[in-house]
Chains A and B, each alone.
Chain A
Amino acid sequence: MISNGIEIATSALIAHKYAMDVIGNNIANVNTPGYSRESIVLQTTDPTIIPVISNNKPMASLGSGVKVSQIQRIRNEFLDTEKQNLSTTSGEWSQTSQNLGIVESTFNEPSSTGISAGLNSYWNAWQSVASPDPSSSAARTTLVSQGQLLANQLSTTRKGLTDLQTSNDKDIVAKVQTINDLADQIATLNGQIVKSQASGDANNLLDKRTQLVGQLAGLVNIDYYQDATGSATIGIGGGFLVSNIDVAHIQAKPDSMNKNFNNVVWADSGKSVSITGGELFGLIQSRDVKVQSYIDGLDSLAKSLMSQVNAVHQAGFGLKGETGLNFFVGTNASDMTVNAELVYDPSKIAASGQNVNMSGNGDTAAAIANIRTKASLNSGSTSINDFYQNLISKMGTATSEAKTKVDMNTAMMTQVDTQIASVSGVSIDEEMSNMIKFEHAYGAAAKYIATVQRTLDDLMAVLK
């Protein structure tokens, strides 16, 4: 029965050696992203039955040692789901905020170089033509330059916005590729996890998958289920992206109805993917709705400016009686420019309201300068300057809202991350105290072997 003692001690040494290995692994991965700490679960081995002298029981069970029953992955799945949802919202708003930030710097208001300053200089240039001397070629030349500058500011700003749309579109293509890559990796992991779960623990594979699903959730709105075998199913807006080891890819397809920008469709059926969240949604929204609304705003401004100035200008007279000329030519903010005839010969600018004795008449110029305050847009409630200010104000409010959302999401994300770390993160203090515990147990077991050995030695001495 003495060998029993050695068995017990050996099992203790082995189990505690494993326990310290788990601690070692935890400490090694203290800074590994997505790592869930592991804890060893010890269990008694099956007892041996020994005969005893007792009144009612002939046998007793004697403990036979300890064994490792499981190496457990400490994880709270609820928090993972929470984080996935937050990632989806956060992904959307971070893209929105980034894009609106670019829109804001494209408009560059308030500044001495923005459209607002350009508009003011343009109206003032008309005032300077109107008085004191409408025939002054210096005032007329300045007016042409200010007109060109304004047209240029409008077209440059619009170009900045369309460039942003194009860059969003390129990002969408890249994100679609990333989503497909992630789906492929998750499907492969699904296969490995199911296999590993059957024979043992798949802790590190699960960690890896949780991380990939987290990344995917940041990109697009997903529905996530995990079945009893450990396999994960991922859907986007009702369609299956990953189901066990099968993947349905999505695809970016140029849409001729939408300026050949890419639409996201299912590769097999060609139907649109219903995207309602994540970075991909943020990018699509920004490209098709948000940035587009500022482009539309600039175009309305440019069109209204051109039509109003031209209408008054056509009715006026140049220094030699020229009439019926447009001041601006173009169709919208992108191609608006000052009429080349006026650039070539500013004396043709129709500053006068009459075609006889017109050299000192600045009535038309004054009328154009007053378009500044004329409520002509939004069915006669807003002037051109107000319209632009409202556009900028709207943009500022939207940008500020997006920033607040991002801040809020970041704070909530930090909180969930803290909660996850609180459950799954490695605490060095805890590991150290466990190490001391296991080290002592290991030492005690070793000491027990020495005792057993001494007992055996005593026995051997008797037998000699």
Chain B
Amino acid sequence: MRITNNIVADQVLVGMQDNLAQVSDLQIQLSSGKKFQKVSDNPVDMARVMRLQDQMNKDTQYATNLDNLTPCLSTTDSTLSNLVTAMQSIQQLTKQYQNSAVQSSNNTLMSTNMDTLLGNVIDLANQSYNGRYIFGGNNTATKPFQLLADGRIKYSGTDDVLKAQVTDTETIDLSVNGNDLFSTHSVLGNQGMGSSTSKIAGLTSNTFSIKVGADTAVNISVGTGTSDVTLQGVADAINNSGVQAHAYIKDSPQGARLKIVSDYVGKDGQLVLSDGAAGGVLEHLGLIDNTGAIVGPQTDTSAGLMDTMVSLSKTMKAGGDITAQAADINTAYQNVLKYQGRVAILTQNADNRKSMMTDMSIKRQDLMSSIWDVDMVKATSDLSRETAAYQASIQAGAKIIMPTLLDYI
């Protein structure tokens, strides 16, 4: 091949440009600390990086979710410890009353003490964290437990617990609900429905009644007829009827189920359910049988702490027998201990989750680093090699381009 001076000059230039491009690329890598800067530099690895970034971003949010709610869990824990202490005082007081001979002056004092302890327990039940009542479920705006003038204790919270989302599909519970802890009467339907909005078939009646404690029974009718009843319709009808109870639709493996929760603590809130006719709505939903007896899972109303304390105070003042109430206090005590255990497990679960998240995050970070981060040692030695090559090409170029025959004529 015939070589002209310009070919040589052009080729030297191409070679130098190649070398300089390598040097520049390595310098960008070293200064940014990343192997590639744009998606087109390495589309495959960049896609992995973006996926990892996405995942890590989610993990950070899940960790934040957990961090936001765990202090609430420890508040619950300490509140329950205080409650246990208070209950021990209550038990002491009942024992003192049972052991003492009948002394009317002392009875009044003991009754007053019981009232003070009740105030104490209600304060604990209305404990809040960060402006949120921890035993009030989703109703954060109203104090969950109130002692009414007639001696009943009203629960204004909802049947919900605080949850934190910890993975794409999982949420974990981070509190216990007030209605279970302090035993408001609730009944869960045995029968699951496919969907809360599909019509319930085969009904003989679309009316039923709910009686709460000593209140008069409230008659409730759903839809326009027996063929126009949905689970959602039943829940809405109960919630709008003015009855002192709330209905919830609970998702379960058996489908959507109806849960009715009384607004009053303990025996004061005892629910009595009955259908307009046998084979009615409540029977279909598995709350009662055809005789009106409750068949669904229900809470034990004798574990109601606060209503028992009200009754204790009254009986003590009157100097009556408190054997039944003492037994109920014991049941309530066991119930609180059960939930204290549950909180301990929730705390442990949250801690485990947290440490799992930290581990995972470190692993993801490692993976990301191995894909994206520059191996500084290698890059530095590559850079010095490329720089040497570039310098050599400049020097050689300067020597090659210069001479022509012209220099020798």
Contact = CB atoms under 8 A, between A and B. Distances in A.
Interface of A: 30-31, 100-101, 104, 107, 109-110, 116, 120, 123-124, 127-128, 130-133, 135, 352, 354, 356-361, 366, 369-370, 372-373, 385, 389-390, 392-393, 395-397, 399-400, 403, 414, 417-419, 421-423, 425-430, 432-433, 436
- A-B CB proximity, top 10 nearest: A396-B39, A399-B40, A357-B139, A396-B43, A360-B140, A360-B138, A425-B4, A427-B4, A361-B138, A432-B405
Contact of A127 (B156, B165, B246): B165
B2 A428 contact: no
A421 B40 contact: no
Contacts, number: 168
A400 B5 contact: no
Interface in B237-256: 239, 246
Interface in B1-19: 1-7, 10-11, 14
Nearest to A31: B6
B68 A131 contact: yes
Nearest to B409: A432
Given A132-B162, A366-B165, A393-B43, A421 B68 contact: no
Interface of B: 1-7, 10-11, 14, 38-43, 46-47, 49-51, 53-54, 57-58, 61, 64-65, 68-69, 72, 130-132, 136-142, 156-158, 160, 162-165, 168-169, 171, 239, 246, 404-406, 409
A67 to B, nearest CB: 27
Given A110-B53, A385-B54, A418-B11, A369 B165 contact: yes
Contacts of B69: 131-132
A109 B139 contact: no
Contact of B46 (A110, A131, A421, A433): A110
B11 A132 contact: no
A396 B51 contact: no
A425 B14 contact: no
Contacts of B47: 389-390, 392-393, 396
A373 B46 contact: no
A50 to B, nearest CB: 41
A434 B7 CA distance: 20
Contact of A418 (B7, B156, B158): B7
Contacts of A116: 50, 53-54
A110 B165 CA distance: 27
Given A389-B54, A393-B47, A360 B139 contact: yes
B163 A131 contact: yes
Nearest to B239: A356
A428 B2 CA distance: 12
A428 B405 contact: yes
A357 B141 CA distance: 8
A358 B139 CA distance: 6
A128 B39 contact: no
Contacts of A130: 165
Nearest to A366: B165
A120 B130 CA distance: 27
A356 B235 CA distance: 12
Contacts of A423: 2
A356 B4 CA distance: 89
13 contacts: A109-B50, A123-B58, A135-B140, A352-B138, A360-B137, A360-B158, A392-B50, A393-B46, A418-B10, A425-B7, A427-B5, A430-B4, A432-B404
A22 B142 CA distance: 105
